[in-house]
Structure formats: structure tokens, C-alpha cells
Structure 1
Amino acid sequence: MAAACAWDALPEHLQERILSLLPLTALLPVAAVSRGLRRLLRSPAFHALLTPHRLDAFFLLSPRLAFHPLSRRLLPVPPPAAAPVLSSASPSRLVTADSLLRLPPLPASSYLLAVVVPISSCRCREYTLVAVTTGPGVRSYTLDSADPSPLWVPRGDLPLPFALLGNAAVSSDRRRLFVLARGPDALLVFDLLTGQWGLLPVVMPHGLTTAHLFVFGGRLFLVGGVERFGMVERVLVWRLEDSEAAAEWAEVGAMPEEVFEELVAGRHGSFWHFQAADRMGIVCLYNAVEGRLVMFDAADGEWTRLSRVSGLDAEESHQWFGHVMEPRMELLLGQPF
């Protein structure tokens, strides 16, 4: 009750700490309540308390449409030139902030594997780009945006043949990339400090298809379809378990049948893959052919069927999914993000 609320009696530093627990997107209506709250939300002291919130991410479905997990809504996307750094799927076009378009072009025959934002710079525009080539071996390059004259620097090679590399999951300390290799299936690790590659000794799940790695709570997870006789029969979630003997993938969840039917749209014989994107334990799986979207939240192991996406043409439906946009201080400052 408003009459019983002692909010105005609280010291300002306690008000700041309470509000800092909310995601940025939830703070927008708070900023409209009064001039005093708007001043507090825009103060440097309040900004210093904020940390990235798992429900702030917008999952990009196309150049003009995004899904927001907090509100379970499909929303229009701001102009790309105003967006902060975006994470990147692999293989991928270079879809990032406008500043990246002025950086040196990608090395020949390479593609962008990851955009890594350091923990200490999570609210500014510093990042490390990782690009790779595949074939007889894996060759890698990195670019540090903090350098006065950023250049693509050759890093370590992995002299093993792979048809392609899947997505890269950034470790919680931002020091390593876990990378899914396909053809043959394998789990690779790239050390961002030394630039060296390694092959982790773990057997990949049998029949794995359209798999996606993600990190949550300091643990590495894998979500993917299980294929039998050319058909995806189910979608499972595994967690990497380390023991003294060896590392192994332990099954920790399965997509419910009704959610699976929503994702594949009943096309079991002809549907063979989905796209995926994740941020802080929230994973969206997207059937671009049918415009079907489902979500998995690793925090509680819950699966959610979402509204069907419609009105996208064939090129648009494949262009951006796999990227995640995270709003920053510009939202609270009244600027576009």
C-alpha cells in the first residue's frame, strides 16, 4: 500500500541497492514515476552497482524483430547502428555495433566465431573478436578493440581436420572459449590469453545434431537434437561432468513432447535442424522454416512454447538469429540503444 510505503524514508544508498537488483528493462517504468527516481537511476553511483541481468537480453530473430524473455513479447529491433556489441553465432555474418564496420576486414577465408566482452568492461564497448578458418586444421585470429590501432593477430593453430566449428561458449572468467566441432564431433577449448587450442577428452553424445553449447553457473551445457535414421526424435540437455577418471556428458533434461511438437511443427521427416541463441542460462531454439520458437531456462529446467513468428520473408528469417542484444546505460539515460 502506498500509505504504508516507507520508500522515501530510506537512505539513498539503500534505494540504489534495491533498484540495482532489477533488470534495466524493468527500470524504465520506474524512471517515469518521478524526477527524483529518474535522477537516482541516472547517477554514476547507481550505475556502478549494476551488473548484467539475465533477463535483459533481446534475442534477435531478424533485422527488425526480437524476442524479450522477461516480458515474453516479440518487439521491434532498434536500428543496428545504435546497438551495442552483439554476440555472434558461427558461422556468421559480422553483425555488431557500427564501430566494427570500420575495423580491418576479416582475414581471408575466415569467419567470426565469437565476440568476448571482458567482465571488467561489461558496460563499455571494449571487446575481443575471435575469427577462425577450418579445413585441414583450425587457424585462429584475434582482434582487441582496446588497441589504438586494432589488427587481426594470428594465434595458435589446431592441426586437426573438422568440417566446421559450431558455436562458442565463453567461460565465466572470460579466459576460454568452449567450441563445438562438427565432422567429426568434438569439444575444443581456446585459451584467450595464450591463443592455444586444445581437444577435451570427452565422448560426444551419439546421434547428436544441431547442437549448441552454453555456460551457466560456471558449468558447461549442451542442448541438441538426437537423430535416428535421419530424423530428429527428441531434444536433450546435457551438462559436462568432470571426475578424476574422465569428463563426460550427463543428461540433465529433455524437451517435453508437446514443446518438441511445437518446435518441429509436426514435420519429423523433413525438419532436421533448428537455430539457437543463449544468454545467462536462457536458451531460445528457433525453427526458421516454420517460424516456431521455444525457450529453455537452465535456472529451473523449464521449457516454454512461445508465440509463432510470422511475417518474415525467407532471407530475413535466417539473417540474424543466433545473436543477442543487451541494452546498457543508454536506456536509462534516455538514449537509443
Structure 2
Amino acid sequence: MAAACTWDAIPEHLQECILSLLPITALLPVAAVSRALRRLIRSPAFHALLSPHRLDAFFLLSPRLAFHPLSRRVLPVPPLGSPPVVSSASPSHLVTAASLLDLPPLPASSYLLAVVPISSFCREYTLVAVDTGTGVRSYTLDSADPSPRWAPREDLPLPFALLGNAAVAGDRGQLFVLGRGPDALLVFDLATGRWGVLPVAMPQGLTSAHLFVFGGRLFMVGGVERFGMVERVLVWRLEDSEVAAWWTEVGAMPEEVFDELVAGRHVSFWHFQAADRMGIVCLYNAVDGRLVMFDAADDEWTKQSGVSSLDADESRRWFGHVLEPRVELLLGQSYGS
């Protein structure tokens, strides 16, 4: 019976295992229950058990407001961990904590492509910056270096108008990157700094594409356009064998969700933004303030009403970034923003 087995009677290592299943945001009130719980939650042994939790992701819509996908609510931007993970579907301004602002500035004409945590709940990152044009130049910076600097890496000797978002492979050793103009799937090796072009045909009419990794597999969500107009939004999964690779269509946005995203402008609609975390993908029409969500865990599409009042200019500059709290939040430390 529950009354015969109090929490204090459970061995400490089992307490740690149970609490490690909670998101960091749910652990904060738990730490306030007692000194014993606070000591456990702040211990290095407990931190080693923690892993990224879907409930901890907040998608920034503006400097003021964030979308919490699991509760499907628009909330004030919470005072989350430092430094945040940075995610961008296109070249954008760097949003980061004060600890990253102390690093050397980006190389001239380059923009931040990816920030890759060295491990889960780690303050140290590998940053990847690129510039595009007649060839793709790339640079990396290790934030753990005592004298961090941007190191030139291999150039990709193919012209691309721009690069899309980067999806981090499960072992954090590679970045899958969308090349646009022409469309291609690129891979960047973080250890060697070398680029490669995967021999896979990209879907015809692809626009506003976004890569994401879920369950160890690479997926892509994007619009399919015809005569300059987006007609539908599909999800593909990358399949590969020893001799070939190809994209397989695995899902389509339902008509009622598509109607919400395009805001009635079916004839003229052509672009949306996207951001993802742990299989949750948010697609955003910044012009009309329309937000829809895809959850790969249950293959479910949903629409989020009530965001049309957001400042469109702010949304264009900020959406695409995701904040996630870090273990420092459990230690009661203060944060930059």
C-alpha cells in the first residue's frame, strides 16, 4: 500500500531514476519541497542521469512571447537556462546568452549555421558558421577552448545561393544541411571539417524545406509548389542502402491545417518558417501570424489559434530559435539572455 512505503524509504538511486524522468521545468518545484530533495536534485550524480525532455522546449515567436508545443500555449518568454540552444531555419541573427557573446565575432560575411552541444546538458558547444556564394566557406569554434577562435574548415567548391537549416546527427558528429539554389542534401563532418554532397534526388517543387532528426532517422518537411504557389506540405524520410539513398513520402499536412497555415491566401502563399526539437516541428507563417505543429512521435498535425496578434516584424527576426533550460537552472544560478 502507498501508506506503507514513503518516499524516504525508497533507495536514493531509485529516487534519482524516478526524478530524472521529469523535465527540468517540473523539477524546480520538487527541489523546494525539502532539503533532502534539493540536495539530490543538485548533485552531479543526478545531473548525469538527465537527458533532453520534450516538455522543456520553448519556441520563440518574438523577444516577448514563446510557444510551448506540448501544452500548446503561447506564454511569456521564460527565464530559461544559459546558454540556450540556437536553431535557425535560415541565415539569421545570433540569439544567445552572455557566455556566448564573449566569444570572437563571426567571420566577415558569414552567419551562424549551427550550435552543437558537445553532450546533453553541457555548457560547451561547437559552433559552425558559413558564407555562401561561388563556394561555401565554413568555420568552426569550440567554446571549451581556453582561447577560442574561428578555425577555417574545408570549402565546398560548389555554388549555392544559400544554405538552409542544419540537423544534428544523433552522435553529434555530423550535420545534415540543406543546400538551396540548387537543392541538395549536404553533410558536414564536425571532426574533419569536410563537406560532402549526398547522392539523393531532392523532391520536385520543394520550397521552405526544413530538416529534422527523430528516432535516429533524418526527415524533411517542406512545401511543394506549382507555378510559384505552395499547393501542399509533405513530410519525407531519408532511406538509404549500400548503393543508393532516396526520400520517401511519409505524411501530408491535412487540408484543414494547411488552410490555417496559408491564412486564406492560397493563390499567393509561398513561404513559411520552421523550427524543431525532439520530433516536434512548428511551422509559422510570420506575415499572418499563423502557427501549426507536427509531432513525429504520433504523426499528428495540429493548428494553434490565437497568435495572429504577434508583432510580425519581431517574428521575422526571432522565430526559428528554441530555448531549453539547462541543469544550471536547478542550481539557482542567474542567466544571461
Q: Structure 1 residue aligned with 2:226, among 219, 225, 228? A: 228
Question: 1:130 is aligned with what amino acid?
Answer: V
Choose which of 320, 323, 326 in structure 2 pairs with 1:325: 323
Q: CA deviation at 1:3?
A: 4.0
1:106 shift after superposition: 1.1
Q: Which moved more, 1:304-313 or 1:155-164?
A: 304-313
Paired amino acid for 1:274: F
Is 1:129 the counterpart of 2:127? The answer is yes
CA contact (8 A) 2:153 2:193 kept: yes
| Secondary structure in structure 2 of the residue aligned to 1:210 | strand
State whether residues 88 and 112 of structure 1, in contact with CA within 8 Å, keep that contact through their aligned partners in structure 2: no
State the alpha-carbon separation in 1 of the partners of residues 264 and 31 from structure 2: 45
- State whether residues 140 and 151 of structure 2, in contact with CA within 8 Å, keep that contact through their aligned partners in structure 1: yes
Pair 1:19 & 2:52 matched:
no
Secondary structure of the equivalent of 2:45?
Answer: helix
What is the Cα deviation at residue 244 of structure 1? Answer: 3.4
Residue 248 of structure 1 corresponds to which residue in structure 2?
246
Q: Larger deviation: 311-320 or 205-214?
A: 311-320
Equivalent residues of 1:133, 1:139 under 8 A apart: yes
What's the CA shift string for 1:223-263, capped at 9, x where partnerless?
Answer: 00111121111110000000233100001111111111111
| TM-score (normalised: structure 2) | 0.93
Q: State which drifts further: 179-188 or 6-15.
A: 6-15
Q: Which residue of 2 aligns with 1:154?
A: 152
Per-residue CA distance 1:40-99 (angstroms, 9 max, x = gap): 32233222211111221111111111111232222212469x741332313011111212
Greater length-normalized contact order (CA 8 Å, ≥ 6 residues apart): 2
Alignment of structure 1 residues 68-83 onto 2, 5 Å: 68-78=68-78, 83=82
Match of 2:194 in 1: 196
> Following TM superposition, by how much is the alpha carbon of 1:336 offset from its aligned partner in structure 2, in angstroms?
4.5
Counterpart residue type for residue 307 of structure 1: S
Structure 1 length-normalised TM:
0.93
- Tell me by how many angstroms 1:35 deviates: 4.1
Q: Does residue 139 of structure 2 align to residue 141 of structure 1?
A: yes
1:294 CA displacement: 1.2
Letter of the 2:321 counterpart: H
Deviates further, 248-257 or 1-10 = 1-10
State the AA in 1 paired with 2:252. Answer: A
Name which of 276, 279, 283 aligns with 2:277.
Answer: 279
Aligned twin of 1:95? 95
Task: Point out where structure 2 has 5 or more consecutive residues left out of the alignment.
Answer: none
For residue 257 of structure 2, the aligned residue among 259, 265, 269 is 259
The equivalent residue for 1:299 is 297
Q: Is the 8 A contact 1:225 1:235 kept in 2?
A: yes
Describe the SS at the equivalent of 2:54. Answer: coil
Q: Whole-Å Cα distance in 1 between the matches of residues 5 and 22 of structure 2?
A: 19
Cα distance in 2, alignment partners of residues 102 and 10 from structure 1: 44
State the superposition RMSD in angstroms.
1.9
Q: 1:336 to 1:311 in 2, by over 3 A?
A: farther
Give 1:331 shift.
2.7
User: 1:163 is matched with which residue?
Assistant: 161
Using the alignment, how far apart are the partners of 1:157 and 1:167 within structure 2? 18
Structure 1: give runs of 5+ residues left out of the alignment: none
| Segment drifting more, 29-38 vs 182-191 | 29-38
Residue 71 of structure 2 aligns to a residue whose secondary structure is coil
- Give a deviation string over 1:288-324, Cα, whole Å, max 9, x none: 1111111111111111212331443232121111111
> For 1:55, what is the secondary structure of its paired residue?
helix
1:85–1:125 Cα contact (<8 Å) kept = no
**Matched residues, percent identical?**
83
Q: Is the 8 A contact 2:254 2:301 kept in 1?
A: yes
Residue 214 of structure 2 corresponds to 216
